[in-house]
Amino acid sequence: MAYSVDMSSTLDDIWATRSADGTFCHKIEIDTSATNLGAALHKVTAIPAGTFIQGVIVYCTTVEGATATIDVGDHTDADTAIDIDGWIDGANLNSLVATSTGQAATTEEYASGKYYPATKDLTITVNNALDAAIFELFIFGRHVDGRVWEYPAS
């Protein structure tokens, strides 16, 4: 299932889409030529309680044209940093390459996947302002308890 995001809203509803055994692979496209992103932390989606994320991949489909890196990590609902680059540290958006968990300076816990017993936010940290890059964020794993997730409107 593919989703596009303009970063003005989040994609909390994507988590209801999964296979019968709870596995999922969500693809989120982020187009910074449509919505520029400043050098800051940006929430992508809330990770529901009971979710095991096996890994994350960033795939750049259109380069920025200048120095451009992002980190992928997680935060609590109160926006307290857990690990802003726990999934990926320094994905290059000025090269048509894929960067996956474990290729960069990620923590050992994240390189083997991470279980979320409580709701947390998946975030990207833009290290250099972006106005041209288009990239895809793949999140794959399993809803461990098999529940269907419903979220109130943000």
Q: How many CA atoms lie within 13 A of 55 on its CB side?
A: 11
Instruction: Give me the number of domains the chain comprises.
Output: 1
- Going by pLDDT thresholds of 50, 70 and 90, the confidence category of residue 154 is very low
What digits encode the pLDDT tens for the residues 48-83? 888 899 889 999 999 999 999 999 988 876 566 678
What mean pLDDT value characterizes the chain? 79
Q: Is 131 part of a structural domain of the chain?
A: yes
Range of the domain at 69: 2-143
In a domain, 73, yes or no: yes
pTM: 0.80
Mean predicted confidence (pLDDT) in 3-17? 51
DSSP string, 90-117: EEETTSS-EEETTSSS--HHHHT-EEES
Question: Does residue 127 register a pLDDT over 60?
Answer: yes
In a domain, 148, yes or no: no
Q: Is residue 152 part of a domain?
A: no
24 belongs to a structural domain? yes
- Residue 33's CATH number: 2.60.120
119 in any annotated domain: yes
